[in-house]
Amino acid sequence: MKDTDRSALAVAIAMVLASFVLHPLTQDSSYLGLSWVLIVLLGVVSVVLRRLHANSAVVFGAQLGVWAVATLVIAAQLPAVRSETGLFDHVGALFGSAVGHMQTQSAPMTPNDGVKLLFVSCLALIAVLTDLLVLGLRRPALGLAPTATVFLIPALGLGQDTGIGPFLLIGFGYLAVLIAEGLNANARWTRGLSRDSADEHGTADPVVWRAAAYIGLPALVLVTVLGMLLPTISLGGFGFGNGPGNGGGPIQLADPTLDLKRNLTEPRNRPVLEYRTDNNDPLYLRLASLPAFSRAGWTNAQTPLQQGPDFPAVPGMADTDTRQRSTRITVTDFASEYLPMPYAPRSVDVQGSWGIDPNSLVMVSSNRNPRARADASNGLTYTVQSVDIDPTAADLAASGVGTPVDSETTLAVPSDLPPRITELAKRITASGDTASAKAALLQAYFRSTKNFTYSTAPQPGSGYQALTNFLFEDKKGYCEQFAASMALMARIVGIPSRVAVGFLPGERDGDHWTVSVKDMHAWPELYFSGYGWVRYEPTPSSVTGTAPAWSVRGTTPSQSESDSEPSTRATTRSQPSAPASNRANEQQTAPVTQAPTHPLRNVLIGLAVLVGLAVLAAPASIRIRRRGHRFDRDREPSEQVEGAWSEVRDTVIDYGGSWPSGSPRTIGAQVGDRLEPSESEAMGRLAVLVERSRYAQTFDDDLDRELSAMTSEIRRGLAEPQPWHRRMAALLVPRSVFRGLLRFRRRT
């Protein structure tokens, strides 16, 4: 196998391993096969052109051309976000869709054609750059940099904790490149050896594999340790302190529904909390609310957190005589930064450091340690005093729409909203003469099994695409689609709205209620004068049970023109709803500002890691390159002999020895004293060749084979008596590379 073939194969292996770094971020694994095909194709282009003796510029240009054409071909096969103005605009639209999807999704992301194209094209482009560094510029030590940038995609795009695995995958890929370079160097040393000679000394000098182990394995250990020590790579990684605290600086909180999709497919519907209340009625328990809507989906708004335990006044609530209750909650198996509570809480007796969003009355951990904050709710037992928002239908009809303090957010409808969503909302509510009647009509429309099918596997999409898919195309979804669509349509007809995330009431078990992981749920809250935020339930009754009494009217909306055939019955009560694909990452801030949307701190740490690994590998890489140059067959015979002599000298220095002074025979004798007889004899023969190269300059025809055999034997003899740690130091940080600095230090 030619050197270039071996290096191209190593680059392909490194890139295939790097492609798995992105896999935890998406539910769609189809990008893997596409990227592998393109990586192999680019590798074949490199091998073929280099065998035809094309220079590096030609190879690089050809690979870029193949990459560009392949990107266009793949994009042409992806129907999502199709542009009517041409293929290039279609590619741009796909990339724009990918960026929006990544900014508004939790990992693993739902499938998105734009993300697929972005992943495939980025991996292929990184493969081209790695090929250029390793084969074109012949700098394999720098081959780590492009492959390691794959890690920056989740760091910048999703803010998702990637764990140790990606570091290991990138490290193993780098190890493959180093092994290939070591084998190439070894092939250059032993070029010209007969099969018998090769068999005598082994098919490859063991130093190659020791070099790979001593250079690569420490790198793997380093990246593993860094993977454990680095802070979570998330959008909230900027500005964290240690331990709890109420001081300044942003706190970035994660999406409370991050694991919902996975929980939905768990084989066991495990209990997560239980509660007791002094009222016999079951309770919805809220975690968070999402008041802001845009093309990206529903997100939280920037609101300064207040400190508990007492809550501010219930927004919009005028009746202070509303029924009050006390609820004792025990969280048994649910780790979250959000505290599950009934709405509307008035006070809470809970351990730990917590902040309160005054608009939503959501309670979130203000612990400034991200790991502790993520586990803040687990194992807690606490008591919540709350008031029930329990109007009658007549009360809501008489009250009318109110104006919340954050009405600029909770009434906002994007100007670029697809017109047919607006038209559908107005058509559904056309017969409603009051705000509550319009809300009831919307709820009835979504709860009707003639209009929608409850399903945890809706058509993929994000943002407006997910909404239009749900409302007009497959008309299948789970609680988040139902809640998000009703909340948006309520705004269209003039009712302030937001989406709440939390738990269904669970199942009664003696004197308490047990809530399971699959009871996680989302629902809309609408704002009415005198009552504030009122819960509605558009998800079908087979999942949620009976809708709130105040939300039901006798009017049932007619089926729209785009209605599908009557759907099959939805899943049972024990099967939950899950978040829609257009959910944005939940973001709360404390006490005053939101964390930056780009994790600069983590990017800088990542770049520092790359630089550190490159610095770590540089001495060994220089040593390997120097060794390969010395045994280049294109050099003059005398230069090859001097190169072999220099290689032995550097090997002695690498193992901590000193190089004697004197004539070649004198030096050969002194170094030979440290070796076994056969190796000492080889050292003597090499000394004779050095004298001949300096004076007679006459050599046998098989000089290169003889030099390779002698040098390999001498180096092996020098290495065998050394302890393992000195061998590692010699290969990882060879002293000969720093010989000039060492001489300078001794002189000073």
Domain ranges of the chain: 3-235+603-623, 260-551, 634-747
Distance CA 687, CA 668 (A): 6
- 522 forms beta bridges with 501
Closest by CA position to 553, among listed 451, 444, 425, 391: 444
Q: Rounded to an integer, what distance in angstroms lies between the CA atom of residue 469 and that of residue 458?
A: 8
CA dist., res. 210 & res. 373, Å (int): 44
* C-alpha 449 chain-centroid distance: 38
**pTM of this structure:** 0.50
Output the pLDDT for position 134: 85
Smallest CA-to-CA distance from 740 within 732, 729, 728, 748 is with: 748
Identify which of 504, 524, 525 has the alpha carbon closest to the alpha carbon of residue 514.
Answer: 504
Both structure tokens of 47:
């091998």
What lies within 8 Å, CB to CB, of 445 at 6+ separation is 428, 451, 557
Round to whole Å and give the CA distance between 287 and 503: 8
SS (H, E, C) 287-314: EEEECEEECCEEECCCCCCEECCECCCC
Q: In which residue are the tokens 């209009």 written? A: 451
CA distance 455 to 185: 59
Please tell me the predicted confidence (pLDDT) of residue 593. Answer: 32
d(CA 349, CA 223): 43
- Integer Cα distance of 686 and 29 in angstroms: 57
Handedness of CA 407, 413, 415, 416 (dihedral sign): positive
> Mean pLDDT of successive 10-residue segments in the chain (748 residues)?
83 89 80 92 92 86 91 80 62 75 60 84 89 82 71 53 66 80 61 38 43 46 42 29 36 54 65 90 90 84 74 84 87 91 94 90 84 86 93 90 91 93 96 94 94 82 81 88 94 95 91 91 94 94 84 53 33 38 34 37 56 70 78 78 89 89 89 88 88 75 77 88 85 77 45
Q: Which alpha helices (H) appear in 655-738, and where do they start and end?
A: 664-672, 677-694, 703-719, 724-732
What is the Cα–Cα distance from 481 to 457, expressed in whole angstroms? 11
Length of the chain: 748
pLDDT at residue 218 in the model: 46
Give pLDDT, residue 661: 87
- Cβ-contact 659, 652 below 8 angstroms: yes
**Pair 374, 254: CB distance under 8 Å:** yes
Rounded to 10 degrees, what is the CA torsion of 553, 555, 556, 557? -120
Beta bridge partners of 526: 497, 534
Amino acid type, 715: R
* Cα–Cα distance, 741 to 660 (Å, whole number): 19
Q: What pLDDT was estimated at residue 100?
A: 64
> Residues 373, 377, 382, 385: what is their CA dihedral angle, to the nearest 10 degrees?
80
Cβ atoms of residues 63 and 131 within 8 Å: yes
> At CB < 8 A and 24+ separation, what contacts does 275-281 make?
275/327, 275/328, 275/329, 275/330, 275/506, 275/512, 275/513, 275/515, 276/327, 276/328, 276/511, 276/512, 276/513, 277/325, 277/326, 277/327, 277/328, 277/513, 278/325, 278/326, 278/327, 279/323, 279/325, 279/388
Residue 448 has a pLDDT of 92
Contact assessment for residue 483 and residue 499, using Cβ atoms and an 8 Å cutoff: yes
Residue 252: closest CA among 243, 242, 268, 239: 239
Write out the two tokens for 332: 């048994």
Q: How many CB atoms lie within 10 A of CB 576?
A: 24
Do 605 and 230 touch, CB atoms closer than 8 A? Answer: yes
The candidate with the shortest Cα–Cα distance to 625, out of 5, 140, 217, is 140
| Residue 303 C-alpha from the chain's centroid | 27
DSSP, residue by residue, 459-528: PP--HHHHHHIIIIIS-EE-HHHHHHHHHHHHHHTT--EEEEEEE---EEETTEEEEEGGGEEEEEEEEE
Q: Give dist(CA 600, CA 692) in Å, integer.
A: 61
Helix H or strand E encompassing 81: none
- The alpha carbon dihedral of 101, 103, 105, 108 has a sign of positive
pLDDT value for 341: 96
Single-letter residue type at 300: N
